[in-house]
Amino acid sequence: MKNNINTITIYCGSMFSGKTTALRKDLELFKIAGFKTAIFKHSFDKRDGDNVEKTHDGTIMPAIMVQNSEEILKHIDKVDIIGIDEVHFFDNNLGKVVKRMINMGKTVVASGLDMDFMGEPFYNTIYLMGIADNVHKMHGVCVECGGRGKYNHKFVQCSNDRLEVGAEDKYKCLCYKCIKNELEKNNKTFWE
């Protein structure tokens, strides 16, 4: 683990691809190696309750809820490894905050969606991909055809808000062919 110190790692991709699970496993390994770790999540995401992060496989871990990226800095004095989940929920200052943490000698492991439900990239994710030492692009399974799922499809009855917290209740993972077909059924075009 010592060769991963003072680095940035990001797990990005579609929903249901194992991003949070990968982040959690990395932090567990750092903890075994004797490092102090903490996971942060945006207070916008209340799916799992306060101060808890839950993976889709049901694993629960403690998390610190913050309102913005700057607030993370208030909690890291005695922390070596910082985990940041769902980076797409954070303000666009997150990249600068991560750079400050690296300058402080910290290590950052982050995860987040790379695209919204219309296939448009999230700024924070692509910014972190650009400055990261390690980028892991993750894919789910298309629930329609069983192919390689890359896109987050939001059910028609949901809002058109770009950021809407949800899981299987609002989203499903699809491949390009299946998301294109799904949108065409509703007279929508993918990547207009």
Q: What residues act catalytically?
A: 86
Tell me which H or E stretch contains 124: helix 123-131
Cα of first residue to Cα of last residue in the chain, in angstroms, is: 44
Question: In residues, how long is the chain?
Answer: 192
Q: Give 149's contacts (C-beta < 8 A, 6+ positions apart).
A: 14, 16, 17, 139, 140, 141, 142, 143, 173, 174, 175
Cα 101 to chain center, whole Å? 18
